């Protein structure tokens, strides 16, 4: 099949821009552009472009009166609220659903609420997650053929909120978290093996890759005898482990193959002042966004999670000018020695700071070509939190944002207000848009059988 | 009949405080932060209306008995200790996926946690780094390996190296095909393009460290004809269990040799002999410390974020000193003084370095370093609950947290589960209306509202006993200019201040059995259930009869049938 003129773009062509501290860095172009049809909307060999999905999570909630946009509608019919205002550059990709509530009797703050918002089910005893989080439910449909079937998971903070979820916002099931990587440098090193060389020449063969693969082969072979001795439940756990080994094997094989990617942004060069691992800084978020965009663009994975902060995070937000005190207590619960009013304004600043960091992720995706459009056209990000009203752990007007167009399936630029409906409706809508066939979503009081049609294109 | 009925112990170990959760309608302090594995918000209605306080509750936990798991993933500290034991001190310890605490214990969570895909990559990176470190220095390699082959043809030497190291790593002898497979790997890498025998060795050693046979303790048991066909842990599995429980690491060669001898570790006496040897070994300290860290929820200390405008800095060195103090204090009681474990609740003997001594208002020493000291008799600081590690870990950024501290005592010391507040309660303490209010005054609404009082009358008074210590564990006699009122009660037993409260806790009937049940769950890698009632009963009775000697308790526990049999009770 004839290829379009886009295919003549040299593989080293990258989008150059100024990101973070004015340092020139490069953003990868999709490795697959040479494989697209003439209109750039699908693979030449058939099949649509992949749609990527991510949880973009932040802890400690919002101030509903400053979060909920004043008008509903589509396009110019609505405006972003004060707390959502940092998303203005990507408003055409944003859908806000307000008025949603956490259903069910168990509204234990910071644990049951985010688990319901992410899985559609309340927690079992001891705070145990019962169902996979929405990223994993989507990934089971869309991401099984990539190098990272469970996705890539990042998180800014190391400060645990003291709840059973820990720092995790992605679970493959009960007792099966997908812990976030907290070091951009370590993630960069991990992804480096896939990056095209800066010279465009093939990478020299890395003999360690073969050795490491031989090690994994040996382990897999050795594990057969162990597996045969185990009962069903232990077998299931071992199989997950072996599946991880298998995936690692695939990653090592792929690392030795030439790929068409752009330049991978080295966080130590682009963001040398980003702060230590665990610090909640915008530059750390930008570093992770660059790395995720690289991986999504190169189709290393179609699923990710990004924990700006975890549920009930007690970390501090000094990067946006707040005191070196816990955001959760001093600002979220307004216990700052500076008084309630100052704490309220500080909390508002923190939420806007959070949305600025989300905008950083979205802007990078929007600026990254993907097929005929950009990466954000072919992605969905589901953003939620661990409570609504921060001061009292409110569960009404739960914060829910949807970003991206899902390959044309989502309308974007929409504010829908559904007072009293279950928060589960939004992830169900997204799961269905991503190809899910289930007729319901979630468990118990949190279960829903219908979505939010107004989100769909 | 022992002095404790099994019914009593089940209540002690497993059940909930008698509270009517549905009745709590006021505000309570705190943030919903519960120790991992705590009540966590299940809102289980079965928790209501049971028994009365520390001598009554009898219900089983939701779900009943937890089945025995056979695959226990090494905890992060076990992985690190094992690497050091296998390769030597100084080996780099790579980052791993976090542990999962269940019931407060990562050892329990290790029986259900599923490794993530990214975690497999972390294991690989850690194994690559550790093996590279080992082989970079011939002296290290020869210290750790039984033989260091120089050439690919030296397969006998390689085989000896892998079988010897592998026996400890896998906690059992390697099957011949396992050893051969490793030799083949080493040889193939060594003779491949660009290969060397060092790279071949690295590959095989890395395979050992990444093997599920190392990363998981595999304890399946086998039918024992001598015991009526009951499933019993074999001798190597017993070695694995002993090393994990007592040392928090892999077995040493002596333990594996004992397991391999005729009869092995099949009898209680053989287990006792090894347990006594192991408890006298320095590695017993790290085994006990791992338990103590979970028992007293020291992750809270690491997670604490005191407000710098309110409290003095909780520096990294001070946090570390607090943790060391608590570990040394308990270690000394168990292995040094070998005294009454429960005396830790009102003991004035502790360990400090100069930074911690200053924090506590104790004299510093000309030569810094941890030393055993006696806290002055008239000091309010007494017992392990007066440790900075516990006090600073159980506080809010700008204040003390009597409810959180009281809940901790109910759960960690008295083995009672405090249910979460009902769903119509906003569990946030509002800002003070009067800045001169004390915490006791701010929490007074807990006692005014009857439905709140049903919960908080059991929790808050224990926390009030710690009110002489601020959010970072420093002593204070005044709060907002007012004298601290540290009076409270435990189920009717009155106290004024920590010293008295410690004595009350020490002598509470439930404290000893509770400690026994915690130790038991940690060793068994599972929560206790109804089937454990009889053994908990017996262990607690023997513990009391011994004068609460913890080392004897540990020996009794690991030699008891439920620790040696997969099926804990006779058919």
| CA distance to partner chain B, nearest, from residue A177 (Å) | 7
- Is there a contact between A162 and B33 if contact means CB atoms under 8 Å apart? yes
- Is there a contact between A215 and B203 if contact means CB atoms under 8 Å apart? yes
Query: Does residue B376 have a pLDDT over 60?
Result: yes
| CA distance to partner chain A, nearest, from residue B397 (Å) | 7
**Looking at residue B44, what is its pLDDT?**
25
Q: Does B41 touch chain A (CB under 8 A)?
A: yes
| Nearest chain A residue (CA) to B208 | A219
Query: Does residue B191 have a pLDDT over 70?
Result: yes
Query: Does residue B449 have a pLDDT over 80?
Result: no
Pairwise CA distance, residues A336 & A318, whole Å: 14
| Residue B524: burial class (beta carbons within 10 Å; 0-12, 13-18, 19+) | buried
**Residue whose structure tokens are 């200790």:** B81
CB pairs A-B closer than 8 Å: 244
The set of residues, in sequence order, having a beta carbon less than 8 Å from that of B392 and lying 6+ positions away, is B301, B304, B306, B314, B319, B322, B471, B472, B473
Answer for the pair A287, A274: CB distance below 8 angstroms, yes or no.
yes
What residues of A are in contact with residue B33 (Cβ under 8 Å)? 161-163, 312
What residues of A are in contact with residue B199 (Cβ under 8 Å)? 211
Q: Residue B37: which pLDDT band, with cuts at 50, 70 and 90?
A: very low
CB atoms within 10 A of CB A171: 25
Pairwise CA distance, residues B314 & A254, whole Å: 47
- Using alpha carbons, select from B96, B100, B97 the residue that is nearest to residue B40: B100
Of B37, B62, B69, which has the smallest distance from its Cβ to A234's Cβ?
A: B69
Pairwise CA distance, residues A172 & B121, whole Å: 17
**Looking at residue A406, what is its pLDDT?**
97
Pairwise CA distance, residues A109 & B34, whole Å: 11
Q: Does B307 touch chain A (CB under 8 A)?
A: yes
**Which one-letter DSSP state was computed for residue B384?**
G
Pairwise CA distance, residues A156 & A169, whole Å: 12
| CA distance to partner chain B, nearest, from residue A368 (Å) | 26
C-alpha torsion sign, points B546, B548, B550, B554:
positive
Instruction: Find the helix or strand (DSSP H, E) in which B372 lies.
Output: strand B371-374
Strand positions, DSSP E, B180-262: 216-218, 222-224, 230-232
What residues of A are in contact with residue B95 (Cβ under 8 Å)? 186
What residues of A are in contact with residue B427 (Cβ under 8 Å)? 109, 393
- Is there a contact between B114 and A175 if contact means CB atoms under 8 Å apart? yes
Answer for the pair A56, A155: CB distance below 8 angstroms, yes or no.
no
- Is there a contact between B118 and A127 if contact means CB atoms under 8 Å apart? no
**Interval B460-467 mean pLDDT:** 96
- Is there a contact between A126 and B308 if contact means CB atoms under 8 Å apart? no
Bridge partners (DSSP) of residue A415 are A73, A96
Taking only residues 387 to 416 of chain B, the set having a beta carbon closer than 8 angstroms to any beta carbon of chain A reads: 396-398
**Interval B52-61 mean pLDDT:** 29
The set of residues, in sequence order, having a beta carbon less than 8 Å from that of B522 and lying 6+ positions away, is B105, B107, B108, B245, B291, B294, B295
Residues of chain A with pLDDT under 70: 1-47, 105-108, 126, 197-202, 260, 262
What tens digit of pLDDT does each residue of A327-363 get? 998 899 998 888 899 999 999 999 999 999 999 999 9
C-alpha torsion sign, points A120, A124, A126, A132:
negative
* A369-373, A391-395, B441-445, B530-534: segment of lowest average pLDDT: A391-395
Taking only residues 53 to 92 of chain B, the set having a beta carbon closer than 8 angstroms to any beta carbon of chain A reads: 61-63, 67, 69-71
What is the C-alpha R_g of chain B?
25
- Using alpha carbons, select from A97, A127, A238, A59 the residue that is nearest to residue B36: A127
Of B44, B121, B307, which has the smallest distance from its Cβ to A125's Cβ?
A: B44
| Nearest chain B residue (CA) to A386 | B32
Pairwise CA distance, residues B555 & B553, whole Å: 5
Of A167, A229, A248, which has the smallest distance from its Cβ to B124's Cβ?
A: A248
SS (H, E, C) chain A: CCCCHHHHCCCCCCEEEEECCCEEEEECCCCCHHHECCCCCEECCCCECCCEEEEEECCCCECHHHHCCCCCEEHHHCCCCCCCHHHHHHHHHEEEEECCECCCCCCCCCCHHHHHHHHCCCCEHHHECCCCCHHHHHHHHHCCCCCCCCCEEEECECCCCCCCCCCCCCEEECCEECCCECCHHHHHHHHHCCCCCCCCCCCCCCHHHHHHHHHHHHHHHHHHHHHHHCCHHHHHHHHHHHHHHHHHHHHHHHHCCCCCCCCCCCHHHHCCCCCCCECCCHHHHHHHHHHHHHHHHCCCCCEEEEECCCCCCCCCCHHHCCCCCCHHHHHHCCCCCCCHHHHHHHHHHHHHHHHHHHHHHHHHHHCCEECCEECCCCEEEEEECCCCECCCCCCECCCEEEECCHHHCECCCEEEECCCCECCHHHHHHHHHCCCCCCCECCHHHCECCCCHHHEC
| Residue A157: burial class (beta carbons within 10 Å; 0-12, 13-18, 19+) | buried
What tens digit of pLDDT does each residue of B346-372 get? 999 999 999 999 999 999 999 999 999
**Looking at residue A396, what is its pLDDT?**
86
Taking only residues 102 to 141 of chain B, the set having a beta carbon closer than 8 angstroms to any beta carbon of chain A reads: 102-103, 109, 112-121, 124, 128
Query: Does residue B121 have a pLDDT over 60?
Result: yes
**Looking at residue B307, what is its pLDDT?**
84
What is the C-alpha R_g of chain A?
22
- Is there a contact between A244 and B428 if contact means CB atoms under 8 Å apart? no
- Is there a contact between A105 and B119 if contact means CB atoms under 8 Å apart? no
Answer for the pair A351, A381: CB distance below 8 angstroms, yes or no.
no
What tens digit of pLDDT does each residue of A3-28 get? 333 322 232 323 332 222 222 223 23
Of A149, A190, A230, which has the smallest distance from its Cβ to B121's Cβ?
A: A190
SS (H, E, C) A180-227: CECCHHHHHHHHHCCCCCCCCCCCCCCHHHHHHHHHHHHHHHHHHHHH
Q: For B145-196, where are the alpha helices, taking DSSP H only?
A: 155-170, 176-191
| CA distance to partner chain A, nearest, from residue B120 (Å) | 6
- Is there a contact between B307 and A330 if contact means CB atoms under 8 Å apart? yes
What residues of B are in contact with residue A164 (Cβ under 8 Å)? 34, 36-37, 40
| CA distance to partner chain A, nearest, from residue B472 (Å) | 15
| CA distance to partner chain A, nearest, from residue B307 (Å) | 5
Output the average pLDDT for chain B: 87
pTM for this prediction:
0.89
Q: Residue B568: which pLDDT band, with cuts at 50, 70 and 90?
A: low
Comparing B5 with B248, the larger pLDDT belongs to B248
Query: Does residue B46 have a pLDDT over 60?
Result: no
**Which one-letter DSSP state was computed for residue B16?**
B
Answer for the pair A400, A383: CB distance below 8 angstroms, yes or no.
yes
- Is there a contact between A337 and B44 if contact means CB atoms under 8 Å apart? no
Q: Residue B196: which pLDDT band, with cuts at 50, 70 and 90?
A: very high
Q: Does B437 touch chain A (CB under 8 A)?
A: no
- Is there a contact between B300 and A323 if contact means CB atoms under 8 Å apart? no
**Interval B560-569 mean pLDDT:** 86
**Which one-letter DSSP state was computed for residue B345?**
G
Of A212, A234, A333, which has the smallest distance from its Cβ to B70's Cβ?
A: A234
Answer for the pair B511, B505: CB distance below 8 angstroms, yes or no.
yes
What residues of A are in contact with residue B215 (Cβ under 8 Å)? 241
Taking only residues 461 to 480 of chain B, the set having a beta carbon closer than 8 angstroms to any beta carbon of chain A reads: none
Return the half-sphere exposure (C-beta side, CA atoms, 13 A cut-off) of residue B423. Answer: 14
Residue B400, CA distances (Å) to B86, B311, B405, B566 in order:
44, 11, 9, 44
Query: Does residue B569 have a pLDDT over 70?
Result: no
| CA distance to partner chain B, nearest, from residue A201 (Å) | 22
Mutate to test the interface with B, among A186, A211, A231, A328 (most CBs of B within 10 A): A211
- Is there a contact between B39 and A159 if contact means CB atoms under 8 Å apart? no
Residue A408, CA distances (Å) to A92, A223, B209 in order:
13, 45, 47
Query: Does residue B392 have a pLDDT over 50?
Result: yes
| Residue A75: burial class (beta carbons within 10 Å; 0-12, 13-18, 19+) | exposed
Answer for the pair A314, A327: CB distance below 8 angstroms, yes or no.
yes
Show the CA angle centred on residue B383, arms to residues B377 and B386, nearest 5°.
100
Answer for the pair B113, B525: CB distance below 8 angstroms, yes or no.
no
What tens digit of pLDDT does each residue of B148-170 get? 999 999 999 999 999 999 999 99
- Using alpha carbons, select from A164, A77, A46, A179 the residue that is nearest to residue A113: A164
Q: Does B182 touch chain A (CB under 8 A)?
A: yes
What tens digit of pLDDT does each residue of B296-342 get? 999 999 888 888 888 888 899 999 999 999 999 999 999 999 999 99
What residues of B are in contact with residue A163 (Cβ under 8 Å)? 32-34, 40
| CA distance to partner chain A, nearest, from residue B43 (Å) | 6
Show the CA angle centred on residue A369, arms to residues A299 and A50, nearest 5°.
35
- Is there a contact between B128 and A230 if contact means CB atoms under 8 Å apart? no
**Residue whose structure tokens are 């294991």:** B123
Query: Does residue B23 have a pLDDT over 60?
Result: no
Instruction: Find the helix or strand (DSSP H, E) in which B479 lies.
Output: strand B478-479
- Is there a contact between A244 and B115 if contact means CB atoms under 8 Å apart? yes
Pairwise CA distance, residues A177 & A166, whole Å: 9
What residues of B are in contact with residue A216 (Cβ under 8 Å)? 124, 210
Query: Does residue B390 have a pLDDT over 90?
Result: yes
SS (H, E, C) B18-40: CECHHHCCCCCCCCCCCCCCCCC
């Amino acid at each position: 099949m004839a290829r379009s003129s886009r295919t003549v773009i040299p593989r080293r062509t990258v989008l150059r821009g100024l990101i973070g501290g004015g340092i020139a860095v490069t953003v990868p172009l999709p490795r697959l552009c040479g494989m697209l049809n003439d209109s750039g909307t699908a693979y030449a060999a058939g099949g649509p472009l992949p749609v990527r999905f991510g949880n973009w999570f932040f802890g400690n909630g919002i101030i509903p009166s400053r979060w909920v946009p004043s008008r509903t509608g589509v396009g110019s019919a609505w405006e972003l609220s004060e707390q959502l205002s940092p998303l203005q550059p990507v408003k055409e990709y944003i859908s806000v659903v307000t008025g949603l509530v956490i259903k069910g009797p168990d509204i234990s703050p910071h644990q049951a609420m985010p688990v319901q918002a992410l899985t559609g089910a309340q927690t079992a005893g001891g705070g145990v997650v019962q169902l996979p989080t929405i990223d994993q439910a989507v990934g089971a449909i869309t991401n099984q053929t990539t190098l990272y079937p469970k996705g890539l998971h990042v998180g800014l903070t190391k400060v645990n909120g003291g709840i059973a979820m820990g720092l995790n916002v992605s679970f493959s099931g009960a007792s099966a978290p997908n812990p976030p990587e907290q070091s951009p440098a370590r993630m960069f090193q991990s992804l480096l093996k896939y990056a095209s060389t800066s010279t465009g020449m093939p990478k020299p063969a890395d003999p360690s890759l073969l050795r490491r693969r031989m090690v994994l082969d040996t382990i897999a072979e050795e594990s057969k005898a162990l597996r045969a001795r185990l009962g069903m439940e232990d077998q299931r756990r071992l199989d997950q482990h072996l599946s991880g080994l298998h995936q690692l094997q695939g990653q090592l094989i792929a690392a030795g193959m030439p790929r068409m990617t752009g330049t991978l942004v080295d966080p130590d060069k682009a963001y040398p002042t980003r702060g230590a691992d665990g610090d909640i800084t915008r530059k750390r978020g930008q570093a992770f966004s660059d790395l995720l965009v690289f991986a999504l663009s190169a189709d290393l994975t179609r699923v990710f999670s990004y924990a700006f902060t975890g549920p009930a995070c007690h970390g501090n937000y000094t990067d946006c000018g707040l005191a070196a005190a816990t955001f959760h207590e001093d600002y979220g619960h307004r216990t700052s020695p500076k008084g309630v009013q100052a704490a309220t304004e500080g909390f508002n600043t923190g939420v806007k700071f959070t949305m600025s960091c989300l905008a950083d992720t979205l802007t990078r995706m929007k600026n990254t070509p993907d097929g005929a459009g950009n990466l954000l056209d072919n992605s969905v990000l589901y953003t939620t939190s661990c409570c609504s009203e921060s001061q009292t752990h409110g569960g009404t007007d739960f914060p829910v944002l949807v970003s991206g167009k899902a390959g044309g399936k989502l309308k974007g630029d929409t504010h829908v207000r559904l007072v009293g409906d279950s928060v589960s409706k939004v992830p169900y809508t997204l799961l269905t848009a991503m190809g899910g066939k289930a007729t319901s979503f979630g468990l118990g009081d949190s279960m829903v059988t219908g979505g939010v049609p107004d989100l769909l294109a | 009949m022992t002095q404790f009925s099994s019914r009593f112990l089940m209540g002690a170990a497993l059940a909930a405080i008698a509270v009517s959760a549905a009745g709590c309608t006021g505000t309570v302090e705190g943030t919903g932060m519960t120790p991992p594995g705590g009540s966590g918000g299940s809102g289980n209605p079965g928790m209501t209306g049971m028994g009365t306080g520390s001598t009554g509750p009898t219900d089983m936990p939701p779900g009943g008995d937890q089945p025995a798991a056979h695959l226990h993933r090494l905890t992060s500290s076990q992985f690190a200790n094992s690497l050091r034991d296998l390769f030597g001190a100084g080996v780099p310890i790579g980052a791993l996926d976090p542990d999962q605490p269940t019931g407060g214990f990562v050892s329990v969570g290790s029986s259900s946690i599923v490794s993530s895909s990214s975690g497999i990559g972390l294991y690989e990176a850690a194994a690559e780094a550790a093996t590279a470190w080992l082989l970079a220095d011939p002296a290290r390699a020869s210290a750790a390996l039984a033989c260091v082959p120089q050439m690919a043809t030296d397969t006998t030497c390689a085989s000896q190296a892998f079988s010897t190291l592998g026996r400890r790593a896998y906690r059992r002898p390697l099957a011949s095909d396992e050893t051969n497979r490793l030799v083949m790997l080493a040889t193939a890498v060594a003779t491949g393009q660009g290969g060397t025998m060092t790279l071949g060795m690295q590959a095989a050693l890395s395979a050992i460290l990444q093997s599920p046979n190392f990363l998981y303790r595999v304890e399946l048991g086998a039918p024992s004809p001598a015991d009526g066909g009951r499933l019993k842990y074999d001798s190597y599995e017993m070695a694995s269990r002993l090393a994990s429980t007592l040392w928090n690491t892999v077995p040493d060669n002596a333990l594996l040799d004992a397991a391999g001898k005729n009869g092995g570790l099949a009898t209680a006496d053989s287990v006792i002999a090894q347990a006594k040897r192991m408890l006298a070994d320095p590695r017993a300290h790290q085994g006990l410390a791992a338990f103590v860290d979970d028992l007293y929820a020291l992750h809270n200390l690491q997670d604490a974020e005191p407000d710098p405008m309110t409290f003095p800095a909780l520096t990294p060195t001070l946090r570390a000193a607090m943790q060391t103090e608590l570990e040394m204090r308990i270690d000394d009681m168990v292995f040094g003084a070998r005294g009454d474990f429960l005396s830790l609740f009102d003991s004035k003997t502790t360990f400090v370095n100069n930074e911690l001594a200053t924090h506590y208002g104790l004299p510093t020493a000309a030569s810094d370093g941890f030393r055993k000291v006696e806290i002055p008799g008239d000091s309010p600081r007494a017992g392990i609950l007066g440790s900075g590690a516990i006090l600073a870990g159980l506080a809010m950024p700008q204040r003390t947290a009597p409810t959180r501290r009281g809940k901790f005592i109910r759960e960690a010391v008295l083995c009672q589960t405090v249910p979460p507040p009902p769903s119509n309660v906003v569990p946030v303490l509002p800002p003070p209306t009067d800045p001169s209010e004390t915490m006791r005054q701010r929490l007074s609404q807990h006692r005014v509202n009857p439905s709140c009082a049903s919960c908080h009358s059991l929790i808050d008074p224990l926390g009030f006993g710690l009110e002489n210590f601020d959010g970072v564990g420093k002593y204070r006699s005044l709060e907002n200019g007012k004298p601290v009122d540290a009076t409270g009660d435990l189920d009717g037993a009155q106290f004024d201040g920590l010293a008295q409260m410690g004595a009350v806790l020490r002598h509470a009937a439930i404290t000893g059995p509770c400690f026994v049940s915690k130790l038991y769950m940690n060793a068994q890698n599972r929560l206790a259930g109804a089937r454990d009632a009889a053994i908990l009963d017996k262990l607690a009775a023997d513990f009391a009869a011994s004068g609460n000697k913890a080392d004897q308790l540990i020996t009794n526990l690991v030699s008891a049938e439920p620790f040696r049999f997969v099926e804990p009770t006779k058919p």
